[in-house]
Amino acid sequence: MYSTAEFRRGLRIEIDGKPYVIVEFQHVKPGKGGAFVRTKLKNLETGQVLEQTFRSGQKVDKPDLEQRFMQYLYQDGEQYVFMDTQTYDQVFIQGDYLGDAINYLIPNLELQVLYFNGRPIGVEMATAVVLEVTSTEPGVKGDTATGATKPATLETGFVVQVPLFIQEGDKLKIDTRTGEYLERA
């Protein structure tokens, strides 16, 4: 069990049998009445965000979460196939549970699959991945002083804004949290 004094960003808690992660929290000590903690929680299964208030000192459950290292293999219709790197078992995960991670999945990519009560509910990727540019328009010479960008399509089909000097075939480092270009790899 966690007390509200232990709340921090990224802490995973369980409320009413559902796993949540704390996105934001604020300890409030009003002049009148007891202190409380105002939180913004994200459901790990559905991605739904809700706001909830807890009394100071209130306890919440720890969720039964497990992380396993897996390797992404391929997409099969609406499902994505992952292989456990230790047992070689294959796991099928619905695309709905993956969220934005589907923009960065390439075969043989290693990542962590999050399990809740023994079933997969999502993935945790590295903060940056390296992807190849499959198509982009050539930059116009002389436009570089303005810091201009252009769209580039990556090997996963994801489109990202990149500087004008990027060409087809370049490998780029992309931030998986924001979906932004970081640098050439």
Q: pLDDT for 102-141, tens place per residue?
A: 889 999 999 998 888 888 888 888 888 999 999 988 876 6
- Of the chain, the end-to-end C-alpha distance in Å amounts to 43
What is the distance between the alpha carbons of residues 3 and 48, in angstroms, rounded to a whole number? Answer: 23
Q: What is the CATH number of domain 128-184?
A: 2.40.50.140
Q: Which among 86, 89, 90, 124 has a CA at the least distance from the CA of 105? A: 124
Q: Which CATH architecture does the domain made up of 2-60 adopt?
A: Roll (2.30)
Cite the residue boundaries of each domain of the chain with CATH code 2.30.30.30.
2-60
Q: Where are the beta strands (DSSP E) in the chain?
A: 2-3, 12-15, 18-28, 36-43, 49-55, 59-60, 65-76, 79-84, 90-94, 110-116, 119-124, 128-136, 149-154, 159-163, 171-175, 181-184
Residue range 140-155: mean pLDDT, rounded: 75
pTM of the complete model: 0.72
Cite the residue boundaries of each domain of the chain with CATH code 2.40.50.140.
65-124, 128-184
Give the model confidence (pLDDT) of 164-185 as tens digits.
Answer: 888 888 999 998 888 888 888 8
Domain 65-124 CATH superfamily: Nucleic acid-binding proteins (2.40.50.140)
